[in-house]
Amino acid sequence: MKPRLGHLSSETTGRIAPLHAADGRAAASCRAPGARIFLALALVLAPGSLAAQGVLDEFSYEGLYFAGVGLDVGGLFSDRLDGAVSGSVRIDGGFFAPRVRPLLSLTFFRSEYDSSEIAELEARLRGVVRDPTNDFTIDAGAVSLSTLALDVDLQWVPIQRGPIRPYLGVGAGAHLRFVEGPAIEGTFIEDALETIVAALNASAGFEVALSRSLHATIEGRGVLTSGLKAVSLRGGFMLRFPQRPGR
């Protein structure tokens, strides 16, 4: 008697069942390496992700507010300019991270190029003049540089309470330059020097709390811009405002 189609004997079923079990183990073994790799990556990356999230949680705009305004004045010294007096207005923006605060400053100074720079200019001009008698003179006169600087600093303040509060800062800004001088007035040299340049700065200083709202400030600062390096030492006062309740 012929077996009917679709009907399997118990002997046949017994032979097929081990094959299904073997196929299941093979599929599991194929999936296992990928699962192991995924699990390993998750275990490795999870602590880093949690740490990064923890760092980001430290930053918040809730601590930003108009925390103070200050005036300071001091001396500025450059590799190409005579010594000058600089003055600035600064605005404290509060804290957006533990011990880190932003400051906005507007600074102005005016100085003259030192005698070695003027002598080099005169030597260059003398080199292009053709005079058989060689009895001419060149007097370039004084050339002054005025700078209006807008800077944004980030200051790290390790001690936020107490009478003396030191800080370290880094920042960047834009410096608007103006030049004056009889020898370059109306020339392409004046056009080339009157420009806006980017600047980088680093600072260190401290505040002395004279009262709850009035602080004295002392700061040293180094500035690097196109064609000019300068350092300054200045002091002044900062009027501080308390943070509003509920912030």
- Per-residue model confidence as pLDDT tens digits over 188-209: 889 988 999 999 999 999 999 9
Q: What does the radius of gyration of the chain's CA atoms come to, in whole angstroms?
A: 36
The pLDDT of residue 46 is: 56
The pLDDT of residue 136 is: 75
Q: Where are the domains of the chain?
A: 8-57, 61-240
- Burial class (CB within 10 angstroms; exposed 0-12, middle 13-18, buried 19+) of 247: exposed
The pLDDT of residue 128 is: 81
The pLDDT of residue 143 is: 93
Q: Which residue has the higher pLDDT, 167 or 39?
A: 167
- The fold of the 61-240 domain, in CATH, is Porin (2.40.160)
Q: What's the rounded Cα separation, in Å, for the pair 121 and 124?
A: 5
| 10-24, 103-117, 197-211, 227-241: range with lowest mean pLDDT | 10-24
Q: What are the distances in angstroms from CA 223 to CA 52, 175, 220?
A: 32, 11, 10
pLDDT tier, 151 (very low <50, low <70, confident <90, very high otherwise)? very high
pTM for the model = 0.72
Q: Phi, psi (5° rounding) for residue 214? A: -120, 120
Query: Residue 124 in contact with residue 140, Cβ under 8 Å?
Result: no
| pLDDT tens string 42-96 | 565 555 544 445 444 566 777 789 999 999 999 999 999 999 999 999 999 999 8
Chain centroid to Cα 56, Å, comes to 18
Q: What's the rounded Cα separation, in Å, for the pair 191 and 168?
A: 37
For residue 124, give both structure tokens: 């260059």
- Burial class (CB within 10 angstroms; exposed 0-12, middle 13-18, buried 19+) of 219: buried
| Residue 39 clears pLDDT 80, i.e. is over it | no
